[in-house]
Structure 1
Amino acid sequence: MTSARDLATRREVARAFVDSSSARVIAAFLMLAVVLRAAMGGLTWGDLAAVAVVIVLLGPVEWMIHRMLLHAQPTNRLAELLGTRDSHERHHRVPDDLDWLLLRRPNAIGSCLAIVLPLGAAALVLGSLQLVSPEVARATAASTMVAGLLALAHYEWVHLLVHSKYRPTSRYYAHLDRNHRLHHFRNERYWLGVTVDVGDRLARTLPVDRDAVPMSDTVRAPLAAASDAF
């Protein structure tokens, strides 16, 4: 088993990330989205609006995906169809196993398509209904694709980083690191945000006192042994 715990420096984490099929799939989709947007002309206020929408929705959407699809009930047909519940359960069994920590190639492709296809469809609908000009609709959709794919790449990077032996030095990433380790080794129903904690704040799953949260039955490793960060 290739373990994220073998990655001790940020350089080693970056090398493992770049070599992953997840990063390569996302990079391919991102390159296509950037080329598509570049072919549509210069930046407009619509591009800024697209980025703003992604930033605002990132926390709630990340929380919902983590809670509803990754930690779904066995009766959730969508999660079973996508394979998200099973793959994430494998990740929680051995959190540092690189084979299940990052998105596997089919899941990475599916995640990118889940960003690209709805936006493309929305651009076609808005343009055909003349709610906005077809040119503006296409350009805004392409910019949203770029922002969404960047957010997905950042998610994968942070997820790998916090499972590695490397300890972030910035306050923000150290905060994410601590929260995600609590998610794994305290209670999986809390601390569901990976790159931002807005969803947890809205859903009240970001307890101030970790000791007030009961240890879940599915935790498979002692919290004290999970990281020297505690």
Structure 2
Amino acid sequence: MSTDHATAPAKTRRKRPTITTLRAAFIEFWRHPSPWMIAVPLVGAAATRLALGDWQWTDALVVAVLLAVSPLVEWLIHVGILHWRPRQLGGITIDWVLPRDHRRHHRDPRDIPLIFIPWPVLVGLLPVLTVLGLFAFPRLALGMTFLLTVTAFLMFYEWTHYLIHTDYKPRHRPYRAVYRNHRFHHFKNEHYWYTVTSSGTADRLLGTYPDPTQVTTSKTAKNLHGST
């Protein structure tokens, strides 16, 4: 899900590293623009929130609500935006960077830059989140709690999604569950297992968490919508 090389010829792309350890994964992770872009408002929100103090119960409420809705938001974005099917309107194809890059990501799940949120999307999204944090809440401290939580989740999403697509093998049960689900989405059937950072949450609620042994292997998991 990135655009830092989406149109570059294959021969000009950097050789793909073999990543089998967390150390190697961490080093490679910070070679891409998305984590750095998210880190700026994340660190800024954390420093500002600590400096402001003024901790109240509503801060815990904002965190709890955001964490509770995050699997549903993740599911809706994955289904409604990333799996958007290009449409024709008056002879014009309606399509845009996120679904285009996501189709490339399905074609080649090991292409590391395509794993990340495209930087042009973050250029628009992060300022909007920052403005919301500054002006949409009755207390600045509460707004910074919001911004800190959202950017921390974005970083967690980027790291989890990236790590799943490396050669690092899961060692702990929670990570094994999300690893297994996302691999099913890519290599079993693209119509199920839409959440990335959790397993059996929004997918179970919305009917996309089947028994994998009862699901037919899709012929279009690497070619979304049969578009190529």
TM-score range, shorter chain: 0.7 to 0.9
User: What residue number does 1:70 align with?
Assistant: 82
Q: Distance in 2 between matches of 1:141 and 1:23?
A: 22
Contact kept, 8 Å, 1:2 with 1:97, in 2: the verdict is no
SS in 1 for 2:148: helix
- Residue 82 of structure 2 is aligned to residue 80 of structure 1: no
Q: Report the aligned-residue RMSD.
A: 2.3
User: What residue number does 1:102 align with?
Assistant: 116
**What is the TM-score of this pair, normalised by structure 1?**
0.81
Q: Which moved more, 1:35-44 or 1:196-205?
A: 35-44
Contact kept, 8 Å, 2:54 with 2:141, in 1: the verdict is no
Aligned residues: 206
| C-alpha displacement of 1:61 | 0.5
What's the CA shift string for 1:160-196, capped at 9, x where partnerless? 1111111111100001001000000111110001001
- Residue 18 of structure 2 is aligned to residue 6 of structure 1: yes
Once the two structures are superposed, the pairs formed by residues 52-201 of structure 1 within 5 Å of their partners are: 52-75=64-87, 80-81=95-96, 83-123=97-137, 134=138, 136=139, 138-197=140-199, 198-201=201-204
| C-alpha displacement of 1:2 | 4.9
Contact kept, 8 Å, 2:72 with 2:202, in 1: the verdict is yes
Q: Which amino acid is 1:11 matched to?
A: R
SS in 2 for 1:181: helix
- Extract unaligned runs of 5+ from structure 1: 124-133, 222-230
Q: Which amino acid is 1:36 matched to?
A: T
| C-alpha displacement of 1:120 | 4.2
Contact kept, 8 Å, 2:112 with 2:165, in 1: the verdict is no
Q: Which moved more, 1:165-174 or 1:138-147?
A: 138-147
| C-alpha displacement of 1:48 | 0.9
| C-alpha displacement of 1:214 | 2.0
- Extract unaligned runs of 5+ from structure 2: 1-12, 224-228
- Residue 216 of structure 2 is aligned to residue 219 of structure 1: no
